[in-house]
Structure 1
Amino acid sequence: MAEWLYEAGIGEARAALVENDEIIEARIERDGEGPRIGAILAATLVDAGRGGKGALVALDWPGTPPATLTEVPPATSIGATLIVEVTRMALRERGRDKPARARLAEAGAAIADGPDLRARIAATGAPVVDLRPIDADRLEQAGWSELIDHVRAGHWPFTGGALWVDATPAMLLIDIDGEGNAFALAQAGAKTAAHVIRCCDVGGSIGIDFPSLGGRAERLAIDALVDQYLPQPFERTGVNGFGLMQIIRRRDRPSLIEQVRFDPVATDAGLLLRHAERAVGAGVLQLTARPAVIEHIAGRPEWVDALQKRTGRPVTMIADAEVKGVGHAQ
């Protein structure tokens, strides 16, 4: 039976849906990502847009850029206060960011945060296991670090081939690479691509480049495999004669791929803090990492305070330009 493993880490929360000792869905929720979906906030109209499009509101959420507003009440003036509901979180893309999106809240709606990661996974109905640093590291046993490495490299091997995954501003591109029988490669690639899309919560436009197939029957068989292994809701084209399939999924929060690939410093900081919470020993807990990672942690003293309280150890940090990747805690 599938169950969620949940970890309320320092700087980020993590969750993995695990079935048969394999991570089938993975989620990260970071501090500072802005208001969550479903948040009800006060906002100030800063740009009314034109023709009902392009309106912007400043959200009552410190450090958050203006959000787009889907509609503006007639005769609303610049500077007016509105109550809005966040319908899409801010998104990061290569070379640009997309602002959060909001709509007018229902009349009488109370100011409130949107559901956090713990609440969202509980709402799926699957059991949730809350992990503690002093317990066995079930998240790591299920392959958490290996998963992050695959996301970071954009390389997902499978028997007989591999996927190369690249997040572009237009879409997420998945290339199926390998040797041997093209149909067998396409079948294995379809299953793995569906797993990656589900596991990393990929939304928006997705393109899959399959090897050239022999005919319509084989293309239809690949279509059926995608339908079998990728949970609804989504829309797709069939595999065309050039081996391309396009999938469209709802995109309302950052995918794991976007979080890891577009913010490697935050990714390594989260992993380093995770290692530090589980470090064995007594006395001073020393965190060593490249300067950008140490600066990211040091700039948030509440994280350092939380680490000292959770471990019962004083924390020191060393920035070392020679250290690659996550760094180490000891």
Structure 2
Amino acid sequence: MWRDEAPGERRAALVEGGHLLEIHIQRDVQWVLGECGNGRIDRKTPSGAYIIADSGSELLLRSKISDPEGSRVAFEVMREAISEPGRTKPPEIMLRNNLPDPLPQKDALWNNRLSLPGHKSLAASIASGFDVALAGQSIVGDVTVSFQRTKAGLVFDVDGIGNAFAINSVAATEIARLLRLFQIGAMVMVDFVSMEAKTQRTQIAEIFDAASTLDQRPFERTAINGYGMMQVVRARPRPSILDHLFGTRIAALSDETQAYWLLRAVAQSSGFGPRTVTARPVVAHLLQSGQWAQWRAEAIRLSGADMVVVADEKTSGYGQVHVAQS
């Protein structure tokens, strides 16, 4: 089992036969699927209410409630917060009359998630998967599968050299693989190379179905129309890997991701001197915030050295960690 737990962020990867099949991430700063808590009704809507948890975070209830605003409620998280280009959807909850005792903790929820059927062999690094995510495309021979997040969902575009059916056959299998790899949910739109023959379009859809059988998450899809378009829909109880990496941006690492990666670098660094973390001002502010104090302290504990955060607008990449000589 390959599990990489760093301050505030847990990672796991499912690998079989040397092939990376799934990536899983849990970020403990946010509410996790199945987590329970208490809060108060902040404001009611025609179809539900917004709840302010005791921690101060906002959650969404999508069912009518008779209790007045200001009432105390107990809840369970049914869908985690989802970041999309330009916006972040708050976690969705259901109300509970009684909370479990003891309350489910993030450690236990993470372990339960990885013990689901099909998670028998977790191993290896996820760096190659991140490279594909950051590039926004996967190349298989002469076939290129490009993808981009939108508010409406994830969009795939297929391109290649040669016969349209051959190109689409490769792309259908690769798209099914990427959906599983990045744990993509909600709406997915695929723009295959157009094919006039309906029988060929049906065959490509069947190839996609066959390649999706190992992904245990159920889905629905449309037929491929004459323009090459197909839609796929899955449940979306958690953020995808792309949502985690990019947040409200389209193809650039979010401030949160940069902060997590810098804390990971501090925790995994070696040497005896203080760690100087250089980051863009907004990332530096996040690292120094009260909300991140627990993870900052954990990074210091794991590295065995103090940590200093420096804001630098000109810093490159997602920042850097320097170990002083002492």
Shorter-chain TM band: 0.7 to 0.9
Offset at 1:247?
A: 0.4
Identity of aligned residues (%): 27
Change (3 A) 1:322 1:47: closer
1:274-330, Cα deviation, whole Å (9 max, x unpaired): 233333433233333333333322333333322222122233333333332133334
Structure 1: segments with no counterpart, 5+ residues: 130-137
Would the alpha carbon gap of residues 61 and 189 (structure 1) be closer, same or farther in structure 2, given more than 3 Å must change? farther
Are 1:328 and 2:320 matched, yes or no?
Answer: yes
Contact 2:42–2:70 (Cα < 8 Å) also in 1: yes
SS of the equivalent of 1:116 reads helix
Which residue is 1:37 aligned to?
33
1:214 is displaced (CA, Å) by: 4.2
Q: Which residue of 1 aligns with 2:236?
A: 251
Residues 187-198 of structure 1: pairs in structure 2 closer than 5 A: 187-198=169-180
Q: How does 1:208-219 map to 2 (within 5 A)?
A: 208-219=190-201
Q: Paired residue for 1:200?
A: 182
Q: Which moved more, 1:257-266 or 1:296-305?
A: 296-305
1:28 Cα offset (Å)? 1.5
Cα pair distance change 1:89/1:61, threshold 3 Å: farther
Note the 1:53-202 alignment, pairs <5 A.
Answer: 53=47, 55-72=48-65, 75-105=66-96, 107-110=97-100, 112-113=103-104, 116-124=109-117, 126-127=119-120, 139=124, 142=125, 144-202=126-184
Question: Could you tell me which of 18, 22, 25 is aligned with 2:19?
Answer: 22
Describe the SS at the equivalent of 1:18.
Answer: strand
Q: TM-score, normalised by structure 1?
A: 0.84
Deviations 1:160-200 (A, max 9, x none): 12222111111211111222221121111111111111111
Match of 1:238 in 2: 223
Contact 1:237 1:246 in 2 (8 A): yes
Q: Secondary structure at the match of 1:17?
A: strand
Give 1:209 shift: 0.5
1:133 alignment counterpart: none
> Aligned to 2:158, what secondary structure does the other structure show?
strand
- The count of residues paired between Structure 1 and Structure 2 equals 309
Is the Cα contact below 8 Å between 1:176 and 1:189 reproduced in 2? yes
Following superposition, the deviation at residue 238 of structure 1 comes to: 1.3
Name the SS for the 1:198 alignment partner. Answer: helix
Do the aligned partners of 2:266 and 2:300 also contact (CA within 8 Å) in 1? no
Note the C-alpha offset of 1:125: 5.7
**SS in structure 2 at match of 1:67:** strand
- Name the structure 1 match of 2:247: 262
Question: Partner residue of 1:282?
Answer: 272
The Cα of 1:203 is off from its aligned counterpart by 0.8
Distance in 2, matches of 1:235 and 1:159, equals 28
Partners of 1:301 and 1:5 lie apart in 2 by 27
AA aligned opposite 1:49: T
Decide whether aligned partners of structure 1 residues 279 and 47 sit closer, same or farther in structure 2, where only a CA change above 3 A counts. Answer: closer
AA aligned opposite 1:84:
F
CA contact (8 A) 1:182 1:211 kept: yes
Distance 2:313 2:78 in 1: 41
Distance 1:267 1:76, change over 3 A: closer
The separation in 2 between residues aligned to 1:37 and 1:26, in whole angstroms, is 17
Distance 1:258 1:328, change over 3 A: same
Choose the corresponding residue for 1:307, options 278, 282, 299.
299
Unaligned runs of 5+ in 2: 249-253
- The alpha-carbon deviation at position 48 of structure 1 amounts to 4.1
Query: Is structure 2 residue 287 aligned with structure 1 residue 297?
Result: yes
Q: Please provide the CA RMSD for this pair.
A: 2.4
